[in-house]
Structure 1
Amino acid sequence: MCKVCGCNQAEVTIEGPHDHHHHNHQHQDIEQHSSDILTSAASTPRMIEIEQNILSKNNYYAKLNREQWLANKIFSINLISSPGSGKTTLLIDIIKRIKEQHCIYVIEGDQQTSLDATRIRETGVQALQVNTGKGCHLDAHMVGHAAVHLGMQKNAFLFIENVGNLICPAGFDLGEAHKVVILSVTEGEDKPLKYPEIFHAADLMVINKIDLLPYVNFDLQQCSAYAKQINPEIKIIPLSATSGENMEQLKDWLIAGKAELQSG
């Protein structure tokens, strides 16, 4: 197992004309080393070294992704949340609002099934499913492979919907322009305090399902205050992907970010 996050990513399937099985032999070697050192009395320094090696390799691929996407003016967004926050519903709404004026590509990350990619393709945009198996997050290498399969045009949006998890995706740079963390009002306002790393890393926090506020015990102001406590610079947009309330604010943020990239 990967000692950074406890997942096993020895094999990943990337959807396509011929499903691509990504066998990460170096990762398997690291797993074996990890198993060995668990029986060692001096395991902690070795485990730290292995974690650093895994993240260093990921950062190398993230740098390649970022350079490629910036060179081609591709505005990339990494969407991160717990399962059930409404990521896919939110993404579908945004796609419908901007697809007539912008080229859009989507990489969908899930442990199993291609259900979300199918839903995205029903909007008319190109989407590719990455199944991580037992893995609990996407990494830069697999996302880079998926991006190649998409064959993206210049001046486009790339939305990466990560595996539902607030912990592990926070530590893995994919090369994205921005991390966007999404939580729903059904989850509790203390999420930023419980999972500070992702809220510290994110540029935007979306609080989804505000149409349910009359029916749940959720303090919107307190949640925002907790997020600002972790990350004073984080932007916060409360919205409802179901009712459409405040979705234009998210659209405007995305359009402004893409325009800034293209003018740079």
Structure 2
Amino acid sequence: MCESVDEVGRAVLARNDGLAAHLREELTGRGVSVVNLLSSPGSGKTELLGRVLARAVERGLPVAALTADLATENDARRLARSGAPVKQLLTDGLCHLEARQLRGHVESWLPEGTSLLFVENVGNLVCPASYDLGESLRIVLMAVTEGEDKPLKYPTAFGSAHLVVLTKSDLAEPAGFDAAAFEEHVRRVNPGVEVLRSCARTGDGVDTLLERVLAVRDGAPVHSPPLAPRPHSHTHAAGPVA
């Protein structure tokens, strides 16, 4: 009898979870912490990450970044301006990253001595939320221009976040953003998670975000979200990874 779509999805996630757990243990043993950044397209994630990387480089911190897209190396070129080691990961149409992809790049590329690896996931708040990459910290980002109800629309992403970052905070007033409603919606899906405000254009929140990440790298306790990554309703064939 053929397996159902749900059974296939559960098998894919179970295999990914096993790889992720092994990768997390391996990287922890090497003193490497992985930060998984999730957001929808246009959230300002790349610009904010570039600012964080530049600040880390200024401080002499051993950081690196992988950035994932379906096509182009545009984001890698932008992030490389920070001076940090950066590599583009092309997914060949896959709408999310999986632990096997990250493991391959860690094994073949990660610079010796790196203690902090930022992974900019594919711009998508659905599929990436289901896949553990072996990260130490999962950060979900959202721009004020996206609307206060996004946590309710994407409960798996926001409900599995260790930290939520609100971006483009300088546009909150012209966008008519209701911060109180947003925070209430976040609390409904992820009680107790910290929400940081940031603006890559002005640099607001960059130092705070870097300090939060460094604290986790150095052993600070991490918020326990109510949701773990879980399957979504469709599966993808595994294609080649650049």
Pick the TM interval, shorter chain.
Answer: 0.7 to 0.9
Q: Does 1:138 align with 2:97?
A: yes
Give aligned-pair identity as a percent.
34
Displacement of 1:155 after TM fit?
5.4
Moved more, 55-64 or 104-113: 55-64
Query: 2:148·2:178 contact (CA, 8 Å) conserved in 1?
Result: yes
Q: Does 1:201 align with 2:196?
A: no
Q: Does 1:170 align with 2:170?
A: no
Q: Does 1:93 align with 2:73?
A: no
CA–CA separation in structure 1 for the residues paired with 2:114 and 2:66 = 17
Q: 2:149 aligns with which of 190, 198, 210?
A: 190
Aligned residue-pair number: 219
CA–CA separation in structure 1 for the residues paired with 2:182 and 2:155 = 12
Q: Does 1:214 align with 2:137?
A: no
1:62 paired residue number? 20
SS at structure 2 position matched to 1:77: strand
The residue type equivalent to 2:123 in the other structure is G
CA–CA separation in structure 2 for the residues paired with 1:141 and 1:231 = 28
2:225 paired residue number? none
Q: Does 1:223 align with 2:182?
A: yes
Displacement of 1:122 after TM fit?
2.1
CA–CA separation in structure 2 for the residues paired with 1:151 and 1:88 = 20
Displacement of 1:205 after TM fit?
0.4
Q: 2:193 aligns with which of 229, 234, 241?
A: 234
Displacement of 1:118 after TM fit?
1.3
Moved more, 150-159 or 134-143: 150-159
Structure 1: runs of 5+ lacking an equivalent: 1-32, 38-44
Q: Does 1:158 align with 2:125?
A: no
Give CA deviations for 1:133-154 in whole Å, capped at 9, x if unaligned. Answer: 2210011001111111223334
Which of structures 1 and 2 has the larger relative contact order (alpha carbons within 8 angstroms, sep 6+)? 2
Larger Rg: 1
State how 1:38-49 maps to structure 2 within 5 Å: 46-49=4-7
Displacement of 1:101 after TM fit?
2.5
Displacement of 1:246 after TM fit?
2.4
Query: 2:35·2:139 contact (CA, 8 Å) conserved in 1?
Result: yes
Q: 2:212 aligns with which of 228, 249, 253?
A: 253
CA–CA separation in structure 1 for the residues paired with 2:104 and 2:115 = 17
CA–CA separation in structure 1 for the residues paired with 2:9 and 2:214 = 36
Q: 2:36 aligns with which of 74, 78, 89?
A: 78
Displacement of 1:95 after TM fit?
0.8
Displacement of 1:239 after TM fit?
1.3
Q: Which runs of 4+ in 1 moved over 2 A?
A: 151-155
CA–CA separation in structure 1 for the residues paired with 2:13 and 2:205 = 36
SS at structure 1 position matched to 2:107: helix
Query: 1:206·1:236 contact (CA, 8 Å) conserved in 2?
Result: yes
Give CA deviations for 1:150-181 in whole Å, capped at 9, x if unaligned. Answer: 23334511000000000001100000001100
